[in-house]
Structure 1
Amino acid sequence: MISVSEFKPENYLHTEEAVTDYLNAALEEANTFENLREGAAYFADALGVAARARRKMPTITSSTQRPRSHS
């Protein structure tokens, strides 16, 4: 028996550039919908994918972060 897992596009968006490209493509596609609400829903879904992808991106090391002040 063949097992198929759910496709999750956020698993393939590993960089800010990839997320940007994904959202630009989604916006172009959303603009092709004749029904404005369907296009908006399509793009809203893409925003959710981008948000999930960003949460999965590796965090930048502390060497690039500003030091916290200890007040």
Structure 2
Amino acid sequence: MELSISDEKTKELLTEVIVELLKTKREVLYDVVLEALEEVGLANAISEGRKNDFVSDDEIFPLLNGELK
């Protein structure tokens, strides 16, 4: 027995689920979306950083150790 559902019914059900999530689990959904946005931002920053020249250890470690030039 095969179960099928129309695209319109699928859309309707998904809309109901999303609305219910927004009503009952707002903080959880907010955290999930925030985490996803942070991951996208990190991935974009990594990609952007790879386009530029690398910085030597001699320049980085003094900054990390609080030794400003």
TM-score category by the smaller chain?
0.3 to 0.5
Bigger relative contact order (CA 8 A; separation at least 6):
1
**TM-score, normalising length: structure 1:** 0.36
Mark the structure with the bigger radius of gyration.
Answer: 2
**TM-score, normalising length: structure 2:** 0.37
